[in-house]
């Protein structure tokens, strides 16, 4: 069931982005940035957590989940350390993705040449 | 002097008005197959989501790790595939075909970082790779953090616990 939900949720998010891309003059950069903001906004009401519970892995992949992890880690640390925790915990949950992306792109950049 | 000339009369010879130009431009505009694009984005995005959930379930099935660490490993695997694909060159072709289906998932984030780094590799390790690796992904991180900080402060000051 989670598999089907993942397919539908991830597909719908991508479809919305494609429809915005085709019907407005916004670039993919605008869309990904605003989707991150949207994800952070949804999680400030704990809505995205509920989506992850229903959908599973499919909700972790779209870029909206990046905004959700940022605010989620920040608020988790804020519960522990007070207002400074918002700054302490900002990268807690996204660290995996960002670190992996930096390391892999750096290694592959050193190894491979540009194709163009 | 040249300005006067241009203002005084149309030196190109034709009297193209704005309306006329728009008419001609519209005629030659490339029509985007919007419905087809939307369906392709839905299917390709869906396959990525399915792959993610599938990897999590397989990891949980064959190893005894928690679902949380399985999700982290899944994200690392997906980023690895996207980065390697971009470095080898075939991921760019897939992105032009599937567009938002691959740009909105975390694959788009990894793709933008690797392609920016590889494109500027010639300019050296500092002003090439270092300065440009976050060229496209930087905006996602910037606006994500600013938004998360603002919403987080509001939520914290309102006394909400997550």
Q: Is the pLDDT of residue B13 over 80?
A: no
Place of tokens 């760019």: B92
Name which of A67, A100, A102 is nearest B148 (Cβ-Cβ): A67
pLDDT in tens, A14-61: 999 999 999 999 999 999 999 999 999 998 888 999 999 999 889 999
Cβ–Cβ below 8 Å for B42 and A14: yes
Query: What is the rounded CA–CA span in Å between residue B155 and residue B99?
Result: 35
If pLDDT is split at 50, 70 and 90, which confidence band does A1 have? confident
Sign of CA dihedral B102, B103, B105, B107: positive
Task: Return the H-helix or E-strand segment holding B74.
Answer: helix B67-88
**For residue A21, how many C-alpha atoms fall within 13 Å in the half-sphere facing its CB?**
27
- CA end-to-end distance (rounded Å), chain B: 68
User: Of the candidates B114, B148, B35, which has an alpha carbon nearest to the alpha carbon of residue A112?
Assistant: B114
Query: What is the rounded CA–CA span in Å between residue A29 and residue B138?
Result: 10
**Distance in Å, alpha carbon of B16 to nearest chain A alpha carbon:** 25
- At residue A63, the pLDDT reads 93
Query: What is the rounded CA–CA span in Å between residue A24 and residue A19?
Result: 8
Q: Which positions in chain B touch A104 (Cβ < 8 Å)?
A: 79-80, 83-84, 110, 114
Q: Report how far apart, in Å, the C-alpha atoms of B136 and of each of A32, B65, B76, B152 are.
A: 10, 34, 20, 25
Place of tokens 């972790």: A60
Domain ranges of chain A: 2-111
What is the arithmetic mean of pLDDT over A76-92? 92
A19 Cβ under 8 Å from any chain B Cβ: yes
Q: Which positions in chain B touch A8 (Cβ < 8 Å)?
A: 46
Query: What is the rounded CA–CA span in Å between residue A79 and residue A85?
Result: 7
The residues that bridge with B105 in the sheet, in sequence order, are A62
Q: Which positions in chain B touch A116 (Cβ < 8 Å)?
A: 119
Q: Which positions in chain B touch A108 (Cβ < 8 Å)?
A: 83-84, 86-87, 114, 118
**Burial class of residue B94 (count of CB atoms within 10 Å of its CB; 0-12, 13-18, 19+):** middle
User: Of the candidates B106, B149, B70, which has an alpha carbon nearest to the alpha carbon of residue A70?
Assistant: B149
Model pTM score: 0.86
What number is the ipTM of this complex? 0.93
Residues whose CB falls within 8 Å of the CB of residue B145, separated by 6 or more in sequence, listed in order: A70, A90
Phi first, then psi: give them for residue B105, nearest 5 degrees: -65, 170
Q: Is the pLDDT of residue B1 over 50?
A: no
Nearest 5 degrees, angle CA A15-CA A22-CA B88? 70
Disruptive mutation site among B152, B153, B154, B157 for chain A (greatest number of A CBs within 10 Å): B152
CB atoms within 10 A of CB B97: 11
User: Of the candidates B113, B4, B99, which has an alpha carbon nearest to the alpha carbon of residue B48?
Assistant: B99
Q: Is the pLDDT of residue B161 over 70?
A: no
């Amino acid at each position: 069931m989670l598999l089907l939900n993942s397919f539908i949720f991830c597909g719908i998010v991508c479809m919305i982005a494609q429809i915005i891309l085709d019907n407005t003059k916004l670039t993919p950069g605008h869309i990904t940035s605003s989707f991150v903001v949207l994800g952070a906004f949804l999680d400030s009401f704990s809505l995205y957590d509920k989506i992850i519970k229903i959908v599973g892995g499919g909700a972790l992949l779209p870029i909206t989940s990046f905004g959700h992890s940022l605010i989620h880690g920040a608020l988790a640390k804020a519960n522990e350390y007070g207002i400074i925790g918002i700054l302490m915990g900002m990268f807690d949950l996204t660290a995996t993705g960002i670190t992996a992306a930096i390391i892999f792109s750096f290694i592959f950049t050193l190894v491979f040449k540009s194709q163009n | 002097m040249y300005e006067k000339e241009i203002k005084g009369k149309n030196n190109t010879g034709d009297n193209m008005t704005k309306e006329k130009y728009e008419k001609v431009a519209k005629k030659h505009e490339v029509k985007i197959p919007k419905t087809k694009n939307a369906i392709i984005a839905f299917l390709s995005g869906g396959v990525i989501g399915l792959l993610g959930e599938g990897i999590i379930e397989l990891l949980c099935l064959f190893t005894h790790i928690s679902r949380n660490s399985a999700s982290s490993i899944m994200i690392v695997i997906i980023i690895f595939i996207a980065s390697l694909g971009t470095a080898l060159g075939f991921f760019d072709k897939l992105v032009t075909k599937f567009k938002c289906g691959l740009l909105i998932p975390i694959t788009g984030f990894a793709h933008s970082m690797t392609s920016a780094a590889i494109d500027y590799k010639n300019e050296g390790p500092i002003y090439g790779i270092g300065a440009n690796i976050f060229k496209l992904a930087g905006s996602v991180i910037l606006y994500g953090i600013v938004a998360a900080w603002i919403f987080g402060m509001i939520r914290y000051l309102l006394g909400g616990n997550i």
